[in-house]
Structure 1
Amino acid sequence: MKIAVLGAAGQLGRDLCPRLSALGEVVPLSRVEIDLARPDAIAAVVADLRPDVFVNCAAYNLVDKAETEPESAFAVNVWGVRELATACRTVGAKLVHFSTDYVFGLDAARTVPFSEDDAPGPVSAYGLSKLTGEFVARAAAPGNLVIRTCGLYGVWGSGGKGGNFVETMLRIAKQGKPLRVVNDQHCTPSYTADVAAATVQLLEHNATGLFHVTNSGTSTWYQLAAEIFRQAGLRADLTPITSAEFNAPAKRPPYSVLSTAKLTAHGVPALRPWTEALAAYLGERPA
């Protein structure tokens, strides 16, 4: 089996590639080989590669910036994905495409995890672009697989540009600066190593359609920050605030916890609790 991975150098891609190698030959791709913002060049690259599976970890994920440049978000997350899905269908490749919990948020009173059958309702341009990307990926071929996940962080991202939420919290705390973190957005922080392992199992089960893949449990960003500092043995000047106080340009879902019941029903064990995954990350990240 030949498996192409776009976004192979990102947090999720770096955890996926070595695990996918158990299934066959892995071809890592970057934006140099395929740029979703340049859809006219996609078909030729896919035709030349002729993979059996094409895994897309690439996306426009500048949530706040998408509010003022939605056309850039849609260029990558919709039109680029549409061309990629079409090219995969042409060569008979299965497309695995990653999406986000930000396809939810319109139901502000929600307190029960969302299943794959629940109606989405994004509250940001980014969320809308990712939801539309899901539709075009699934519409292209019934054998395609779309995976929604949430709050990703990974070891490979710890040294990259911007790092991730965990690294940001650790860096600011060590600088002795005060931290004001939102405490009214409920989700599930997820370790890329765990999401990658579950993705490989879904491929082994020849899964198709839409699946939610996250670690277990629920947290706010403030609760995650507090747990980071507890596990890392750091004292931090940490204060909970509301989303209104933070006042980000883009709205975030007040509740976007994803149910993984379909995942487990498909034979993939539930991912470990997010607190255990965080402990593993802190133990595996470079010193």
Structure 2
Amino acid sequence: MKIAVLGAAGQLGRDLCPRLAALGDVVLLSRADIDLSRPEAVPPAVLAASRPDVFINCAAYNLVDKAEVEPEAAFATNALGVRALAKACHAARVRFVHFSTDYVFGLHTPRRAPRAETDVPGPESVYAASKLAGECFALSEARDALVVRTCGLYGVWGSGGKGGNFVETMLRVAGQGKPLRVVNDQHCTPSYTADVADATVQLVRNGTSGLFHIVNRGAGTWFEFAAEIFRQAGLKPDLTPITSAEFNAAAKRPAYSVLATDKLVAAGVPALRPWPEALAAYLAERQNKPAGK
């Protein structure tokens, strides 16, 4: 099997590609090869040149708040670019795999039961709407496509530089001695890219198609996630829970976007470990990450 991965250098791509190597040859692609922000220029020639059996898209426009003021950019990459890629895969008889987000939910509140793949989505932001459109295009334009929704991704390869991921942001700000105010009314499931990658590889190996949720087990608010990060790291920063209204982000986030994974388990993939266990594995892995990488 030959597998092409767009966005191979990102957090998820960096964990996914080594695991995919067990299935066959992996072709690493970047924005220089395919720029989804220019859907009219998505080159079918790339598929013809690499001739993959499977094409996995890990690339996306992820600037959630900025998307509110530049919707064209979000939809170009997350919707129209995905459509062009899905159509190219269909024409070349290449299986298409695409990643989406828990943010496609949110409008149907109050809610306290994990959301299944059959639940009606309700995006509340431009970013979320663009990702939902991308899901629809992937499933409608590509034969036997696989779309994976996940949530709150963090991975060791996103731990470098300023920002990185939520875990690194919390650790960095705490290390600077600054107070932290974290929302406590948005419920989700933080998910470790290594675990999401393992489950995705199993679906790819099995030739599974359709829409699936892949997240670690359990649920918590972002404040609870932050508190657990500090507990496991042995830190006691000035941490205060706040509401989404107090945080006042430009883009609205779902109040409850915990994803159910019953369909994943029914497809023969074991449920992922609880998110606090996954966090512990991440913290251990980041200790062994080579310096400068």
Question: What TM-score comes out, normalization by structure 1 length?
Answer: 0.98
Cα-to-partner distance string for 1:106-152 (whole Å, 9 max, x where unaligned): 01201100000000000000000000000000001341100000000
Query: What is the CA–CA distance in structure 1 between the aligned matches of 2:162 and 2:46, rounded to whole Å?
Result: 27
Letter of the structure 1 residue corresponding to residue 259 of structure 2: L
Contact 1:179 1:237 in 2 (8 A): yes
The reply on whether 1:20 has 2:17 as its aligned counterpart is: no
| Residue 206 of structure 1, CA deviation | 1.2
- Among the aligned pairs, what percent are the same residue? 72
| Residue 42 of structure 1, CA deviation | 2.5
Letter of the structure 2 residue corresponding to residue 168 of structure 1: T
Which structure 1 segments of 5+ residues have no match? none
Aligned residue for 1:115?
Answer: 116
Deviating more after overlay: 213-222 vs 153-162: 153-162
What does 1:2-151 align with in structure 2 at a 5 Å threshold?
2-39=2-39, 40-151=41-152
Query: What is the CA–CA distance in structure 2 between the aligned matches of 1:278 and 1:270, rounded to whole Å?
Result: 16
Contact 1:47 1:87 in 2 (8 A): no
Structure 1 runs of 4+ aligned residues shifted over 4 Å read: none
Query: What is the CA–CA distance in structure 2 between the aligned matches of 1:36 and 1:112, rounded to whole Å?
Result: 34
| Residue 213 of structure 1, CA deviation | 0.2
Cα-to-partner distance string for 1:33-68 (whole Å, 9 max, x where unaligned): 111012223222122222100000000010000001
Aligned residue for 1:279?
Answer: 280
Contact 1:35 1:42 in 2 (8 A): no
| Residue 162 of structure 1, CA deviation | 2.2
| Residue 205 of structure 1, CA deviation | 1.7
Letter of the structure 1 residue corresponding to residue 247 of structure 2: F
Letter of the structure 1 residue corresponding to residue 246 of structure 2: E
| Residue 221 of structure 1, CA deviation | 0.3
Letter of the structure 1 residue corresponding to residue 146 of structure 2: L
| Residue 197 of structure 1, CA deviation | 0.2
SS of 1:240's equivalent in the other structure is strand
Query: What is the CA–CA distance in structure 2 between the aligned matches of 1:9 and 1:141, rounded to whole Å?
Result: 24
What does 1:132-211 align with in structure 2 at a 5 Å threshold?
132-160=133-161, 162-211=163-212
Letter of the structure 1 residue corresponding to residue 71 of structure 2: P
Letter of the structure 2 residue corresponding to residue 37 of structure 1: S
Query: What is the CA–CA distance in structure 1 between the aligned matches of 2:206 and 2:2, rounded to whole Å?
Result: 17
| Residue 286 of structure 1, CA deviation | 3.7
Distance 1:161-1:208 versus aligned 2 partners, 3 A rule: farther
Contact 1:43 1:83 in 2 (8 A): no
Query: What is the CA–CA distance in structure 2 between the aligned matches of 1:59 and 1:129, rounded to whole Å?
Result: 10
| Residue 161 of structure 1, CA deviation | 5.1
Query: What is the CA–CA distance in structure 1 between the aligned matches of 2:269 and 2:195, rounded to whole Å?
Result: 12
Query: What is the CA–CA distance in structure 2 between the aligned matches of 1:213 and 1:238, rounded to whole Å?
Result: 29
SS of 2:43's equivalent in the other structure is helix
What does 1:223-238 align with in structure 2 at a 5 Å threshold?
223-238=224-239
Contact 1:190 1:215 in 2 (8 A): yes
Query: What is the CA–CA distance in structure 2 between the aligned matches of 1:156 and 1:134, rounded to whole Å?
Result: 25
Supply the RMSD in Å over aligned alpha carbons. 0.9
Query: What is the CA–CA distance in structure 2 between the aligned matches of 1:27 and 1:282, rounded to whole Å?
Result: 29
Query: What is the CA–CA distance in structure 2 between the aligned matches of 1:175 and 1:201, rounded to whole Å?
Result: 41
Aligned residue for 2:291?
Answer: none
Aligned residue for 1:240?
Answer: 241
Distance 1:82-1:34 versus aligned 2 partners, 3 A rule: same
Which structure 2 segments of 5+ residues have no match? 289-293
| Residue 31 of structure 1, CA deviation | 0.7
Contact 1:155 1:286 in 2 (8 A): no
| Residue 90 of structure 1, CA deviation | 1.1
SS of 1:239's equivalent in the other structure is strand
Contact 1:12 1:192 in 2 (8 A): yes
